[in-house]
Structure 1
Amino acid sequence: MDIGRVGVWQLFGRAPLPAVRQAATVIERLGYGALWFGESLGSREVFTSAAILLAATESVPVATGIANLWVRDATTMAAGAEALGEAYPGRFLLGVGVSHKPQVSVRGHDYANPLAATAGYLSAMETARENLEFHADPPVPTVLAALRPRMLELARERTAGAHPYFVPVEHTALARAALGSGRLLAPEQAVVLETDPATARATARAHVSFYLGLPNYVNNLRGLGFGDDDFAGGGSDRLVDAIVAWGDAETVAARVRAHLDAGADHVAVQALSADLAQASGQLAELAPALGLTPRPAGG
C-alpha cells in the first residue's frame, strides 16, 4: 500500500456528513497520501466511517487511527477490515489500539494489563481472518497504536508497524530504533498555521490539555523527560511546542520533515480546528510547503 510520506489525521467528530465528505475530497485533491481518522465515545462507528470516506474519495487510502479493540470482538474487527479491503482493494489500512482506561471503563471493560489484552486480541484476529469465507486482495495491513517500548516491540513482532499519536520528534527516533527496519512508522503531528505565539499556543494548549488527562500519554511523555511542571496548567510552553507544530507553512513543514529524518515513513498531519472547512484551508496552505502534488479528478 502506497500511503506516501505525508497524510492527514482528522477527527471528524459530529460534523455533518456533507462536510465530512467535502473535507475528504479536498484532502485527496491536495495530494496527501492517506486519510487517518479517530474513534471516540461520541464518534460514528469506525468501519461505518471508513466506508463513508472510501466511498467519498477515489484513490486515497483510508486508515483508522485507531479502531478501539474494546469496542468490538476480534472476529468483528477482522471481518470489518477484510470487507473494506475486498470492496476497496489496496485502500484500507487498519490501525488497532487499546485506547485509554477512562474511555474503556465507561464501556464496562477491565483495562487491566493492556499489553496482554492487545497481544491476545491480535492472536484472535489472526485466527478469525483464517476462518473467514472471504478475503481482501491485497491483504489489509494492520498497525498498532504504540508508545512505550513493550507495545512497540509487539507492533514489530505482530503487525505491519506502529501509529504513535501525541508524540514529539524525539519519540519518533526511539520508535524507529524499537521497530527496526521493515516496519511502518507513521506518527501523528498536530499543527496550527499561526505565527502569533499567544494565539498559536492558545489553540495548541486546548488540544494538549485534553490529552494530558489520559495517563498513557502522560507516562510516555515522562519517559521522554517531561515532568509535573510541564503537565500543569494545560501544558508548559516547552511541552506545547514539542507536541504541536505552529508557525507559517514552512515552519510547520520543517517539523514534519524532522519526523521523517528521525525515521518516520509517513507523518499524519492534524490541523487543529473544530471547523472542517478551516482545517481544510490550513491543509491547503501547508501542502505546497510539504512538496505535495495535487491529484487530478479521477486520478
Structure 2
Amino acid sequence: MSTSTLKDRIGRYGVWSTGLRVEDPARRGELAEAAAELEELGYGAAWLGGSSAARHAVPLLDATATLVVGTSIQSIWQYGPEASAAAFAEVDAARPGRFVLGLGVSHAKLTDRYRRPYSALVAYLDALDSAGVPAGRRVLAALGPRTLKLSADRAAGAVPYLVTPEHTAQAREILGEAPLLAPEFKVVLESDPERAREIARACLARYLELPNYTRNFLRLGFTREDVAGGGSDRLVDAVFAWGDEARIRDRIGAFQAAGADHVALQVVTREAGDALPREEWRRLAALLT
C-alpha cells in the first residue's frame, strides 16, 4: 500500500484508545460492537493505545469492513522484529491492507532494556525489511527531528503522541509533503474550565514523569514550570481540547492547518483507561461533520 493510499484509507480522523486493546475474552463482543460503530460514525482508523500488537487488532478488523487498525504504539523492546513480522503477515493475509504497524521506543522508565533507542529502532526496521514487512505499512511514534526524518525515510510516516499544532508544523517541514503525519490529540468534552483541566491533569501527570515528553515540551518553548506540578494551565490547554463544540472543533482543525493528514483523537474522561467512551465518540463524531 502506498502512503497516499494509506492517507485515503484512514481519512481525516481516527480514535485513539487503550480500551480497544483489552484482551479479556468476555469483552470481545463489546470491542467488536464498538469497532463497528466507529466505522459507522465515519472514523477512518482505530489506534490501539499502550504497547499493543497485531493480535489486539484482530477483533476490530473482523467486526468491520473498511476500518484501518494501527498499533500506537508497539514497543520495540517488548516484541521482537521476527515475531512482529510473522504476526503482521498473518493478520494482513486474512485482512489485506487494513492493519498498520505503529512502532516506538517507549521510555527508559518503562523498560530496563532501554539502550541507544535510535540505533535500536533502526536495527528493528532493518529486520522488518528483511522479513518483508512493507515500509508503507508501518509508522513511527516520532517526536524529535532524527526520528521524524527516519519516519519519512523508513516508514509511511509518523504518529507523534502528546504534541501541539506547533510540533505538527515542525514535523511536516521535516517529513516533507508525502509521508503520513497523524498526531494524537486529547479531547475533554467539558466546557467548564476547572472541571476540564482537572480531568486533563489526571491524565497528563503520568506523562510528565517521562523525559521524552518533557524534553519535547521544552523544545517547543514551554518552561520547566509548565511541566511541573501536573502541568500549567498553558500546557494543559495546549495538549488538550476542551470547551464548547466550536472551540474543540477549532483546536482539532489547528492540527490540520499545521499539516496533519489525520488526527488520532483520544477522548479523556474520569473513567478508567480501559473504558470505551462510546457516547463521547458519538458526540465527537457529530461535531466533526
> What TM-score do the two structures reach when normalised by structure 2?
0.90
1:232 deviates by 1.5
Question: What letter corresponds to residue 117 of structure 1 in structure 2?
Answer: A
> Equivalent residue for 1:97?
104
Q: 1:281 is matched with which residue: 273, 279, 282?
A: 279
1:58-73 mapped onto 2 (5 Å cutoff): 58-73=65-80
Does the alignment pair 1:79 with 2:90?
no
Does the alignment pair 1:196 with 2:192?
yes
1:165 deviates by 0.4
Q: 1:243 is matched with which residue: 225, 239, 243?
A: 239
Task: Output the CA distance in 2 between the equivalents of 1:170 and 1:120.
Answer: 30
> Equivalent residue for 2:205?
209
Where in structure 2 are there 5+ consecutive unaligned residues?
1-5
> Equivalent residue for 1:22?
33
Q: 1:127 is matched with which residue: 127, 130, 142?
A: 130
Q: Show CA shifts across 1:178-209 (max 9, x none).
A: 10111000000100110000110001111111
Q: 2:158 is matched with which residue: 158, 162, 179?
A: 162
Where in structure 1 are there 5+ consecutive unaligned residues?
131-135, 292-299
1:61 deviates by 0.8
> What TM-score do the two structures reach when normalised by structure 1?
0.87
CA contact (8 A) 1:69 1:98 kept: yes
Q: 1:46 is matched with which residue: 24, 49, 53?
A: 53
> Equivalent residue for 1:296?
none
Question: What letter corresponds to residue 278 of structure 2 in structure 1?
Answer: S
Residue 10 of structure 2: SS of its match in structure 1? coil
Task: Output the CA distance in 1 between the equivalents of 2:121 and 2:89.
Answer: 19
Task: Output the CA distance in 1 between the equivalents of 2:275 and 2:229.
Answer: 30
CA contact (8 A) 2:68 2:99 kept: yes
CA contact (8 A) 2:186 2:265 kept: yes
Residue 231 of structure 1: SS of its match in structure 2? coil
Does the alignment pair 1:55 with 2:55?
no
Q: 2:116 is matched with which residue: 107, 113, 116?
A: 113
- CA distance 1:39–1:277, shift in 2 (3 Å): closer
> Equivalent residue for 2:181?
185
Task: Output the CA distance in 2 between the equivalents of 1:214 and 1:233.
Answer: 14
Deviates more, 1:112-121 or 1:23-32: 23-32
1:59 deviates by 1.9
Question: What letter corresponds to residue 82 of structure 2 in structure 1?
Answer: T
CA contact (8 A) 2:184 2:265 kept: yes
Cα RMSD of the aligned pairs, angstroms, is: 1.8
Q: Show CA shifts across 1:147-193 (max 9, x none).
A: 00011111111111000000011100000001011100000010011
**How many residue pairs were aligned?**
276
Displaced runs of 4 or more, over 4 A = 275-278
Q: 2:267 is matched with which residue: 264, 271, 286?
A: 271
Q: Show CA shifts across 1:116-146 (max 9, x none).
A: 110111011101227xxxxx9xx86111110
Task: Output the CA distance in 2 between the equivalents of 1:36 and 1:278.
Answer: 13
1:278 deviates by 6.5
